[in-house]
Structure 1
């Protein structure tokens, strides 16, 4: 039996894509920038326009619109982040028009832009990160609960602190890349790519739910 096809919009280097692949999907990625280490078929294009043109060719769609407008750097004030685009509404409009099962992923500070999102956490998958991420979908998603208790202080502190961290800090030069890769469950990315990624464990869990939804829809 052939794999169902999933379109991975705003793909970056393929953290989400790998999870969907492990859940049984054939994955095709799209990003405005080239992604040399993306592990599957990849197209350099405007993600929203590509979805308009080709979204009907896929069984499901994942989108990770740029999160810079909503990241923690916004807390610095002084207009930091104001020039970044919020592409979540435009992305949702296209995905709703296509009528396929879809997922929109973003950071916690984008909660007000998402419709009834659920939260995924690395602690639920025995990863040495928390990396909370929100997922909106037009099908029911049930994430495993956070399990922070086992994450005890044992990792080097942030540069401005002395207490040990409970998780691995991702995206910094002072921590070995291999340590960060292991914490994320990703072994093919470099530091910059890793800092923008989500653990594949999240989308593997989500992908299994989407695949079940597709099977039930076909059988109905």
Structure 2
């Protein structure tokens, strides 16, 4: 029996896609930029244009539209740089509302997602917290954070002396291998890690999507 196909929009280096693949999906990624490290079938181009042309060919869809507008840095911007950030969340929501297959939109806390659930690295035994929100057209179960086991044991931030309870991701002063292990992504560059969704999150979500598909397509 063929695997269900999942379209991975705004895929970057494939953190989300890898989780879905581990859950049992055949993954196809799309991004406007070249992604030489993407580990699955990849198409370079406008994600929403690809969705309009090919979305009907897939059993499920994931989208991680640009999030800089909604990060803490973007929300606190006082110099007007935020106006230059690309915000494709409304267009992505509008486009995916046209599809009956299960879909998921991922973004950072603070993004105006509709009735989202949240996942945290502490729930999956990862040495990051990396809170991320997920909106979907199907019910998704969440897992509560468990920061209690993440005790101070990692290098402090450059302007502090106290140890961190998690690995700081996206900084040059921490070995890349340490950051890759913390995120569960050993194929990525430093920049790719800084933008990534840990595969553990989408593996968890992917199992739920596959269970949902099994109920509607027994």
Shorter-chain TM-score category?
over 0.9
What do the CA deviations read for 1:40-80 (whole angstroms, capped 9, x no partner)?
00000100010000000000000000011111222242223
Does the CA contact (< 8 Å) of 1:73 and 1:80 recur in 2? no
- Give secondary structure in 2 for the equivalent of 1:98: coil
Counterpart for residue 143 of structure 1: 142
CA distance in 1, matches of 2:190, 2:104: 26
Partner of 1:212: 211
Which residue does the alignment assign to 1:55? 55
**Which sections of structure 2, spanning at least 5 residues, go unmatched?**
none
- The residue aligned with 2:66 is 66
> How many residue pairs were aligned?
217
CA contact (8 A) 1:156 1:164 kept: yes
**Equivalent in the alignment of 1:99:** 100
Q: Does 1:169 align with 2:168?
A: yes
Q: Name the residue aligned to 2:181.
A: 182
1:4 and 1:187 map into 2 onto residues whose CA distance is: 25
TM-superposed CA distance for 1:143, in Å, is 1.6
Alignment match, 1:81: 82
Q: Is the 8 A contact 1:10 1:64 kept in 2?
A: yes
**Which consecutive residues of structure 1, in runs of 5 or more, have no partner in the other structure?**
none
CA shift at 1:161, angstroms? Answer: 1.3
Give 2:124's aligned residue: 125
Other-structure match for 2:156: 157
SS at match of 2:98: helix
Aligned to 2:44: 44
Hey, which bits of structure 1, 4+ residues long, moved more than 6 A? none
Aligned partner of 2:8 in structure 1 is: 8
1:205 to partner: Cα distance: 0.2
Please give the per-residue CA displacement for 1:124-177, whole angstroms capped at 9, x wherever unaligned.
000000000000000011121101000001111111111111000000000000
d(CA) in 1 for partners of 2:83, 2:71: 11
Q: CA RMSD in A?
A: 0.8
CA distance in 2 between partners of 1:175 and 1:72 (Å): 22
Instruction: Look up the SS of the partner of 1:7 in the other structure.
Output: strand
Conserved? CA contact 1:33–1:45, under 8 Å: yes
Normalised to the residue count of structure 1, the TM-score between the two structures is 0.97
Helix, strand or coil for the counterpart of 2:217?
Answer: helix
Moved more, 158-167 or 3-12: 158-167
